Amino acid sequence: MDSEKNMKTQNGEIRLEDLNTLDNEAIKWIGSVETDKARLQESEEEREQYIAMLLGEKEVAFRVVDIEAILDVPRITPVPGVPDYVLGICNVRGEITSVVDVRKILGIAVQRQKTRRERAAEKMIIVRGELYSVGFLVDSVLDVLRVAERNIVKINAADGELSHISQFSRGLFTRPGEEGRENDVILIDTEKLLSTKEMMQFQ
């Protein structure tokens, strides 16, 4: 509408002196914009962003706020005398970072040797906790999820397949439209994971 196009703005906001010049249609339009903004803010408050990734045959996701970086796998230097889930150390932006095969911590089995293409898809994510950061090797990064608390389904600790990983998880999330396809995403609780005795040695 012409009244919308003719409204003067400063820093994207309607100036106070312009309010008296707006007609009823423009005022209604402003009201609808504010309503949409309020709905958007409410939606953002209810949902949290996660980055989903593949670990073996499982899809897991970490909160965006817990991830410092997603990198191509750098050169990893093995360290003698450490547990088998510690792959070694690497240099990330001038800092020495420990690299962990998080699948072994979470109890996710690897059934076969990777192909060259699968190895090329590997990434390292730097996960940040309150006390320290660590690098996790993942098979691939999939997508970004926006998760509402009401859509998280708690994992039954008695579930044989997921019983071990349940202690590190906030629950399961199903992508909209993919219900019943048995590809739920396991939402990782970063603080619980980094608080395990296996991980606390890196602080």
Same domain membership, residue 33 and residue 55: no
Please tell me the predicted confidence (pLDDT) of residue 156.
Answer: 75
Please tell me the predicted confidence (pLDDT) of residue 25.
Answer: 58
User: What SS3 state is found at 54?
Assistant: strand
The strand pairing partners of 106, in sequence order, are none
- Whether 132 has a pLDDT exceeding 50, the answer reads yes
Same domain membership, residue 192 and residue 147: yes
Same domain membership, residue 79 and residue 16: no
Please tell me the predicted confidence (pLDDT) of residue 131.
Answer: 81
Same domain membership, residue 107 and residue 13: no
Same domain membership, residue 184 and residue 100: yes
List of residues 6+ apart from 167 with CB closer than 8 A? 157, 192
Same domain membership, residue 106 and residue 37: no
> Are 99 and 76 contacting, i.e. CB atoms less than 8 angstroms apart?
yes
Same domain membership, residue 54 and residue 82: yes
d(CA 73, CA 137) in angstroms, rounded, equals 8
Please tell me the predicted confidence (pLDDT) of residue 18.
Answer: 46
Please tell me the predicted confidence (pLDDT) of residue 32.
Answer: 63
Same domain membership, residue 118 and residue 19: no
Binned at pLDDT 50, 70 and 90, residue 44 comes out as: low
Same domain membership, residue 76 and residue 132: yes
Same domain membership, residue 112 and residue 33: no
Total domains, the chain: 2
d(CA 79, CA 88) in angstroms, rounded, equals 5
Instruction: Extract the tokens encoding 45.
Output: 């408050």
How crowded is the C-beta side of 3, counted as CA atoms within 13 Å?
13
Please tell me the predicted confidence (pLDDT) of residue 117.
Answer: 82
CATH code, 174 = 2.40.50.180
Total residues found in the chain within this entry: 203
> Are 125 and 61 contacting, i.e. CB atoms less than 8 angstroms apart?
no
Residue 104: CB atoms within 10 Å? 16
| Highest mean pLDDT (candidates 2-6, 43-47, 109-113, 183-187) | 183-187
d(CA 139, CA 119) in angstroms, rounded, equals 7
CA 158 remoteness from chain centre: 26
Q: Look up the domain containing 39 and give its range.
A: 2-46
Binned at pLDDT 50, 70 and 90, residue 11 comes out as: very low
d(CA 203, CA 195) in angstroms, rounded, equals 10
**In the chain, what's the furthest Cα-to-Cα distance?**
76
d(CA 59, CA 22) in angstroms, rounded, equals 52
Domain boundary among the residues 46, 61, 80 is at 46
Which residue has tokens 């349940």? Answer: 166
Average pLDDT over residues 70-80: 92
pTM of the model: 0.72
CA Rg value for the chain: 23
Instruction: Extract the tokens encoding 201.
Output: 């040695």
- Whether 31 has a pLDDT exceeding 80, the answer reads no
Least confident stretch, 26-35, 46-55, 72-81: 26-35
